Structure 1
Amino acid sequence: MKLKDLQKAEFWIATILYAFAIVIIISNTSNRNHDFDYYSFKEAKVNYSFFSNYFIPGIFRISIIYFTFLLLNFCIIPALIQRKNEILNYSLILFCIVFIGLVNGVCTTYTDAYLLVQYDSLQQAYNRIFFSSFSYSIWLIILISSYVCAKAFVIYMLENKDRNTQSQNQMRLDVGLGLAFWLVGMLLWLTTRSPFEIIIIWTLVIFSTIGIIIYSLYYLLPYIYTQGKKFKSFFWQVFFISIFLAVPMSFISMFFFYTRPEGIFIVFLFHLPTQLIISAPLAWYVYKRRLASNNELTSLRTELGKSDASLSFLQSQINPHFLFNALNTLYGTALQENAERTGEGIQKLGDMMRFMLHENVQDEISLTRDVDYLENYISLQKLRTSRSADIVIETQIDEQLSNLKIAPMLLIPFVENAFKHGISLQQPSHIKITLQTKEKTLYFDVHNSIHIKPDNDPEKLKSGIGLANVKQRLALLYPKKHELIVRESAKEFFIHLTIQL
């Protein structure tokens, strides 16, 4: 089910339940004289009005729940999850708590008016009623928000079930460790027969600690690091989050401390120092350790990828097919002409082999040396094809006078691919190679014809030499610093490569 369909279903289910509740309130009109509240009012000798003591308060309470659910489920909590207008939405949550508490408190003074006579004074009765009403509003906000957050978490897990599994497993482990720590403390308090209030304080503080640490590790600290901020900024954000959490924690503690105001002070006394002295430094330390480990692991993987790519590329270059063709070219040349051309070919082949054995293993080499290797290879291929008038090989390679560096063997695969697939001794063929540099940018183009190889050619089904490999090396060595454009038609093949050196 898509998110929009789920939201529509939620809206209509909530609306139908709201309408059904209204209908139930209205239908109880005929039974109001037998209602429990009616007899409770009568025993307390307080006048009972169905309209003011039952109908209107019931409508307000149901409406408050309905509209609060819509506001939190569709507006406030989703915006907070996406980190949009955080101050505004947190303010709206506080407003909802106060508004719901006030409305519910006023409604309770009408629906439970018969209880007012049980207190020593109206002020004491109102204090109790409105305190319970605010506790009710906080629990309502917490329950609805928990539902929305749980729903968002399930949707996130379903959408990302095939990726980020390591991060999700780590988060589950962190939550499990926090709950285990809470459970150990609970067992300690229970075995020592500690007061119930201590257990409540322990539970509230530990749960808020788990929440702050998880939120910091997986949401707050990654955002702070991307913004380049320091621990001071993170510390103050944890401080304000702790203050915000202290409000509902205080109300919850008062409920368990039987409205004694010292409960708020006790919870606040343990909560705020715990978050500032333990949660903030612990989350910062753990995140930095994990970030360093991840960076080290990424670096090792990158280096391993470079090594594998370089090794496989080197292995793909020194192969019997290339050496066999080169030696056959030199042998044919020696039979046709004098020893000068044969010597020239052997010299170029020696330079190429020397380059491959010595400079190819370096991380970076001079662009001039890489271009020399490229030109030696092209010259050897021209020796092989010089007797065919239908083969046109054109090169425009600028002389490299700068001190630019480049990873070795990045350009040659495209040229090899051009000669492998673009030359036919039986059909007209053409290859055009251009290489230019402007400031620190390299521009490299290879344009060649394409000829279908005969069925008995062992390389008919093989791809170009090292093309997949060089794409991998470009992604590793020049991320976001290169552009490779490849175009292919039935008769022509073209590549354009730009690298920021």
Structure 2
Amino acid sequence: MGLVISICKTYTEAYFLLEYDDIQDAYNRVFFKGFSSSLWIIIAIAGYVLLKEFVTYLVEDQRKIEGSQNQIKVDIGFGLAFWFVGLLLWVSANAPFEIIIMWTLVILAGICITVYAIYFYLPTHYKKGRKFRRYLFQILFAAILAAIPISLITLMMARDDEFAAIILCFHFPTQLLITLPLAWYIYKSRLTNSNVLTSLRTELGKSDASLSFLQSQINPHFLFNALNTLYGTALQENAERTGEGIQKLGDMMRFMLHENVQEKISLTRDVDYLENYIALQKLRTSRSGDIVIDTQIDEQLNNFQIAPMLLIPFVENAFKHGISLQQPSHIKVTLQTKENTLYFDVHNSIHIKPDNDPEKLKSGIGLENVKQRLALLYPGKHELIIRESAKEFFIHLTIQL
């Protein structure tokens, strides 16, 4: 490639030969420039291939793992790709070295300011409801800070004060007229898409939960009639405890059918369901003196609203893994509200069920499902702490209602 370029230059730029005293020296210079050009072309092609592979890797990695850190890599990769394409155009146009320096410094500064605006400043800006004027001043301040290393690098490479001033004259308009609105537009577009996606995930989570519950509601009228019949029979036979259990089970089924499908319900009704479940479990384990079930639930719950079935899975999990009819067991459930915050604690012993226990394979709603629902329904408004040892399991949940 260098040889072809050099020979072509001896014919297309033959008039430059007259500038040299010796023809051999002229040929040496022409051939040196030809091989230098070919070297730059090879470097440019190699850089293009590496950058393309890097961007492709980032895009594929983004499809596998969604996250802000990975998105930063993708944005930086596309920014570098834009800079490199421009660099190739300037080199192919035989632009002066100073122009290449200016292009590189201004574009790299723009990439840094864009990343700062999208991932560090604008999230706080939107969260606190600040005005656009505050954002304008922030980007102007970032551009002023970026001007310091740009000036130093320019003086080190070009050693020309006038050229440094020229670069700054291009730097500030570029950041204020291009980088500032571009970062604003990108962030707003992504925020809108994120809100839509969160809404869809929330609705999907609700649909999945509703479907799971509806699948268990087989012929509810028949079950209600059967429970009423059993309840009446228990009263006739003076089996008060049996009648009480049947009545609580009926209340739980009524809750599952009518209130569980709503988006928000009264916290009092959700706690009623919780207490009915605990009462039934106490009825089941009442014959064992080594089982201690302690509940401390506030009676005054005000008029708070909560998404249904968020608390019961933790209690179900406690009874599933914390109760053994052969060994001492304990469960403690605490629920209280302060101002607009719900505090919910469940502390239980742990007993590993034998392999032949049919309950071992049943996962119920599951704690992972509750974690997902909390993340969707109360983002940034809840805290879930789970601690486990060899013999005890503890959860602490706070929700801003």
In 1, Cα distance between equivalents of 2:206 and 2:177: 43
DSSP-derived class of the 1:444 partner:
strand
Cross-structure match for 1:290: 186
DSSP-derived class of the 2:345 partner:
strand
Pair 1:212 & 2:113 matched: no
In 1, Cα distance between equivalents of 2:152 and 2:323: 79
Cross-structure match for 2:252: 352
Which residue of 432, 452, 468 maps to 2:368? Answer: 468
1:4-35 per-position Cα deviation (integer Å, ceiling 9, x unaligned): xxxxxxxxxxxxxxxxxxxxxxxxxxxxxxxx
In 2, Cα distance between equivalents of 1:423 and 1:321: 27
Check conservation: 1:249, 1:267, Cα contact below 8 A.
Answer: yes
Cross-structure match for 1:458: 358
TM-score, reference length from structure 2: 0.63
Equivalent pairs, count = 324
In 2, Cα distance between equivalents of 1:347 and 1:217: 63
Cross-structure match for 2:35: none
Cross-structure match for 1:409: 309
In 2, Cα distance between equivalents of 1:285 and 1:231: 9
Which residue of 267, 271, 274 maps to 2:170? Answer: 274
Which residue of 340, 354, 361 maps to 1:440? Answer: 340
DSSP-derived class of the 1:460 partner:
helix
Q: Aligned in 2, Cα 1:338/1:452: closer, same or farther, shift over 3 Å? A: farther
Q: Any residues of structure 2 matched to 1:219-234 within 5 Å, and which?
A: 219=116, 222-225=119-122, 228=125, 229-234=134-139
Q: Report the residue type matching 2:96 in the other structure.
A: I
Check conservation: 2:114, 2:183, Cα contact below 8 A.
Answer: yes
DSSP-derived class of the 2:147 partner:
helix
1:161-200 per-position Cα deviation (integer Å, ceiling 9, x unaligned): 998343223212211112213433454x45xxxxxxx633
Cross-structure match for 2:380: 479
Q: Report the residue type matching 2:385 in the other structure.
A: L
DSSP-derived class of the 1:459 partner:
helix
Check conservation: 2:227, 2:250, Cα contact below 8 A.
Answer: no
Which residue of 236, 241, 248 maps to 1:338? Answer: 236
Q: Aligned in 2, Cα 1:297/1:359: closer, same or farther, shift over 3 Å? A: farther
Cross-structure match for 1:176: 81
Q: Aligned in 2, Cα 1:421/1:337: closer, same or farther, shift over 3 Å? A: farther
Cross-structure match for 1:375: 275
Aligned-residue CA RMSD in angstroms? 4.4
Check conservation: 1:366, 1:405, Cα contact below 8 A.
Answer: yes
1:80-128 per-position Cα deviation (integer Å, ceiling 9, x unaligned): xxxxxxxxxxxxxxxxxxxxxxxxxxxxxxxxxxxxxxxxxxxxxxxxx
Check conservation: 2:231, 2:247, Cα contact below 8 A.
Answer: no
DSSP-derived class of the 1:360 partner:
coil
In 2, Cα distance between equivalents of 1:451 and 1:411: 21
In 1, Cα distance between equivalents of 2:283 and 2:228: 8
* 244-253 vs 198-207, which moves further: 244-253
Check conservation: 1:423, 1:430, Cα contact below 8 A.
Answer: yes
In 2, Cα distance between equivalents of 1:320 and 1:372: 20
Deviation at 1:482, TM superposition (A): 2.0
Q: Which runs of 5+ in 2 are unaligned?
A: 1-57, 126-133
In 2, Cα distance between equivalents of 1:387 and 1:368: 30
Q: Report the residue type matching 2:271 in the other structure.
A: V
In 2, Cα distance between equivalents of 1:247 and 1:390: 77
Deviation at 1:411, TM superposition (A): 0.9
1:61-84 per-position Cα deviation (integer Å, ceiling 9, x unaligned): xxxxxxxxxxxxxxxxxxxxxxxx
Cross-structure match for 1:249: 154
Check conservation: 2:230, 2:246, Cα contact below 8 A.
Answer: no
TM-score, reference length from structure 1: 0.52
Deviation at 1:240, TM superposition (A): 5.3
Check conservation: 1:313, 1:466, Cα contact below 8 A.
Answer: no
Deviation at 1:397, TM superposition (A): 2.0
Cross-structure match for 1:122: none
Cross-structure match for 1:420: 320
1:455-483 per-position Cα deviation (integer Å, ceiling 9, x unaligned): 33233244564222223333452537424
In 2, Cα distance between equivalents of 1:418 and 1:424: 11
Identity percentage of aligned residues: 45
In 2, Cα distance between equivalents of 1:460 and 1:466: 13
1:124-168 per-position Cα deviation (integer Å, ceiling 9, x unaligned): xxxxxxxxxxxxxxxxxxxxxxxxxxxxxxxxx9xx999834322
Check conservation: 1:365, 1:408, Cα contact below 8 A.
Answer: yes
Deviation at 1:235, TM superposition (A): 1.6
